[in-house]
A = this chain, B = another copy of it.
Amino acid sequence: MVTRAGPTDGGAGGSRGGPASGARRDSPHLTAERIHAAALRLVDVDGIDALSMRKLAATMGVNPMSLYHHVPNKAALLRGICGLAVAELDIPVRADADWRDQLRQIAHSYRSLAHRHGNLITYLIANPGFIQRDGALWTALCETLARAGIPAEEVVRIGNVLLTFVSGFLLAEVNGTLGDLLRSGPASGEGEQPDDGAADAAADAAEFDRGFEAGLELVIAGLEAHGASAATPAKTSRSGTAPRRRGGRTARPNHLGR
């Protein structure tokens, strides 16, 4: 039984080999990049569990063992497609915006990635190493918090809280937890036709949006209540040099730090 569907037919690939591009004629010449892209496509369509070296190879019309010449193992493959996805993160760098708006934008960028790769984000969030400390998202988040007036020694802590909060929401939204709990209310259990299908899905999506906004505003309000500056400061205000270590407690009424 031979799995290769066709010689060069390719699968879903947009620019895939041969059709018009004249050059590079027949063989796509297996590449780590191309393998990662195909794997990501497979995950997006069929879910993370459908990703196997053998199935991926079949998708690409290639012998399963050939993959191992470009990708050391499945773990590396997973890392590769994660990298591909996070590279899509589009974090705004507008340094002049209000910190609230900046937080909202960062959160929405993250959420849009989650929606674009719903099947992957579950894996991404559930495994460490997705958010790198020098990545655009984490950097922008920390900068924004600093500009909001969060004391330097608390920026990482609060950044972690915000990031994990949003991750938790997105995970629940994508994996169905949110939908489950939503269809409950304090009082329901009535008749409620079991299948409304598409209409229900749209209503759910709208409610997810509202929930996301509500959570966002909740944490922003919390930051404000705990001493984040009400207006965007022209500078970091306060002392010229950033307060280092936990030397003296700040006079600020912020007790988020404990």
Contacts and interface: CB of A to CB of B under 8 A. Distances in A.
A166 interface: yes
A133 interface: yes
A164 interface: yes
Nearest to A138: B181
Contact of A169 (B161, B184, B224): B161
Given A214-B257, A214-B258, A178 B156 contact: no
A256 B171 CA distance: 21
Interface centre among A163, A177, A207, by most chain B C-beta atoms within 10 angstroms, is A177
Contacts of A258: 210, 213-214
A178 to B, nearest CB: 6
A196 interface: no
A200 to B, nearest CB: 15
18 contacts: A125-B168, A126-B126, A129-B177, A130-B177, A156-B186, A157-B207, A157-B211, A160-B182, A164-B168, A164-B173, A164-B215, A210-B258, A214-B257, A217-B256, A218-B219, A218-B222, A219-B222, A225-B225
A226 B219 contact: no
Contacts of A184: 133-134, 138, 156
A171 B223 CA distance: 22
A119 interface: no
A165 interface: yes
A180 B222 contact: no
A1 to B, nearest CB: 27
Nearest to A179: B128
Nearest to A226: B221
Given A157-B207, A177-B128, A166 B168 contact: yes
B126 A122 contact: yes
Interface of A: 122, 125-131, 133-134, 138, 142, 146, 152, 154-161, 163-169, 171-173, 175-187, 207, 210-211, 213-215, 217-226, 242, 244, 255-258
Nearest to A126: B126
A156 B208 CA distance: 11
A210 B157 CA distance: 8
Nearest to A125: B171
A17 B160 CA distance: 47
A129 to B, nearest CB: 7
B218 A223 contact: yes
Given A180-B129, A181-B160, A257 B222 contact: no
